[in-house]
Amino acid sequence: MQTQATLQTPICCRSRQPVCRAAAGPVVTAAAAAPSVLLPPETLRSARLLYATAGAPAHTYPGHKECAERVPAILTALEHSGMTPYERPEELVQLEGFSAAPLEAVLAVHAGKYAEALEKLSRRAAESGQPQFVEQETTYLTGSTYSDALLATGAALALVDNVVAASRQREAEAANSSSSGGSSGSSLAAFAICRPPGHHCTPSMPMGFCFLGNAAIAARHAQRAHGLQRVLIYDFDVHHGNGTQDAFEDDPDVLFISSHQSGAYPMTGKVGEVGTGAGEGATINIPLPGDSGHNAALEVFETIVAPAAQRFKPDIILVSAGFDAHWRDPLAGLQFRTSTYNALSASLKQLADQLCGGRIVFLLEGGYDLKALGDSVVNTFLGVLGEGPVDPFNPDLLRDEPTDKVQHVLQEVRRIHGL
């Protein structure tokens, strides 16, 4: 018997309770009790992409799109593409031993009663052996959901810690160097391959498969733990990141930019939603018409994201990396390709290098076609590393993009925000 919970989200994957194994190769492990799991200085210096995984294998429900197969599908694709620490030991590092997010970090974004309610629902699911459903039976909790969400958020915090530590180490080494060229090598980026996702849940309500706002909590952590005042969050998931927007709507120190499909769940993210009070102008929404694809995504970045970032001058960039805008994905109707994510990630990494010492962390959000998801993350890794895409698909097989409609949206966004 399924139980409908009273808290306040579409429902393919059959649960097989897979073990979420990491891609083969060396990993860096630290004591789980440590408040911050930092890589050794030599690794911070040489690594180019750090990733953490938390697959939440017990947080799954038969037939649900946001299923336990998602993270293993990504790791399998990375292995098949040779994107592992074993095969690329000088560039890729997997972080292990990170802890669940402390409640203090969660409460920087979410209400205390909300966290208590999530824990209670998860406990009820464990005791009854039945999932708890919220938001009209489309977002589910199992007995592990609350702890899984805390671990996914903890991964995000640990990655922020390491990216910040690496950038500050580079800055110190550059200051001590007599060379006018500064420090050598490339800055460290990071990717949290973790679930459940987070950008839909508001400070007081779970939504859209999401329970804790990973990007929002990571942003507050960057500010409070590291003194990085200005945070840019770019969300390219096909669905609007309403929860992240709600968390920072009146905050001028967090620039939230979301490109998403117009009219899709959760029916928010209109061009006129620009923030409130002191935060007016620090929310930029780009609702793209259906069938928008590769060209639209790149033009969004070039004409809105990059100029807005250059004006804002962030201290760190966080990316809500949802891959459900891919043409194969069943939950919406955009036409991004795996090469689109390669281009976006390469451009975002270059932007971070230019504006904020290379500090950038990608956080997994949506993406529900398992092949598209794995291939897109592979191409994201390649883009961050400065390498071109692996995308054999013929784009001529896709529908024509609605160029005129896209231009109309972009012109309106630029007008409103003075870009």
Per-residue pLDDT tens digits for 20-39: 323 333 333 333 334 578 99
In a domain, 282, yes or no: yes
* Residue with token string 């966080």: 318
Cis peptide bond N-terminal to 72, omega within 30: no
177 φ/ψ angles, rounded to the nearest 5 degrees: -90, 140
Amino acid at 101: A
DSSP letter string, 325-369: TBTT-TT---BB-HHHHHHHHHHHHHHHHHHSTT-EEEEE----S
Q: Are 8 and 205 in contact (CB under 8 A)?
A: yes
In a domain, 4, yes or no: no
Euclidean distance between CA atoms 94 and 47, whole angstroms: 10
Range of the domain at 19: 12-417
Q: Report the pLDDT value the prediction gives residue 182, as an integer from 0 to 100.
A: 46
Q: Report the pLDDT value the prediction gives residue 167, as an integer from 0 to 100.
A: 96
In a domain, 53, yes or no: yes
Q: Report the pLDDT value the prediction gives residue 397, as an integer from 0 to 100.
A: 87
Total tally of structural domains belonging to the chain: 1
Neighbours of 90 (CB within 10 A): 9
Task: Enumerate residues 6+ apart whose C-beta is below 8 A from 217.
Answer: 101, 105, 106, 108, 109, 110, 153, 156, 157, 198
In a domain, 286, yes or no: yes
131 φ/ψ angles, rounded to the nearest 5 degrees: -65, 155
In a domain, 242, yes or no: yes
Q: Report the pLDDT value the prediction gives residue 178, as an integer from 0 to 100.
A: 53
228 φ/ψ angles, rounded to the nearest 5 degrees: -90, 95
Q: What is the CATH classification number for the domain harbouring 300?
A: 3.40.800.20
Q: Are 163 and 361 in contact (CB under 8 A)?
A: yes
Q: Report the pLDDT value the prediction gives residue 90, as an integer from 0 to 100.
A: 85
Q: Any idea which residues carry the catalytic annotation? A: 200
Q: Are 217 and 109 in contact (CB under 8 A)?
A: yes
Euclidean distance between CA atoms 12 and 263, whole angstroms: 23
In a domain, 305, yes or no: yes
pLDDT of 76-134, one tens digit each? 999 999 999 999 998 999 999 999 999 999 999 999 999 999 999 999 999 999 999 99
Q: Which of 184, 182, 190, 185 lies closest to 165, judged by CA?
A: 190
Half-sphere exposure of 118 (CA within 13 A, CB side): 27
Q: Which of 106, 119, 143 lies closest to 7, judged by CA?
A: 119
In a domain, 5, yes or no: no
Q: Are 246 and 266 in contact (CB under 8 A)?
A: no
Q: Report the pLDDT value the prediction gives residue 24, as an integer from 0 to 100.
A: 31
Q: Report the pLDDT value the prediction gives residue 32, as an integer from 0 to 100.
A: 33
In a domain, 116, yes or no: yes
- Distance (Å) of CA 348 to CA 24, 288, 343: 27, 20, 9
Low-confidence ranges of the chain (pLDDT < 50): 1-34, 180-183
- Any bridge partners for residue 380, and if so which? none
**139-141 β-sheet, strand order:** 3-4, 132-134, 139-141
In angstroms, the first-to-last Cα distance of the chain is 53
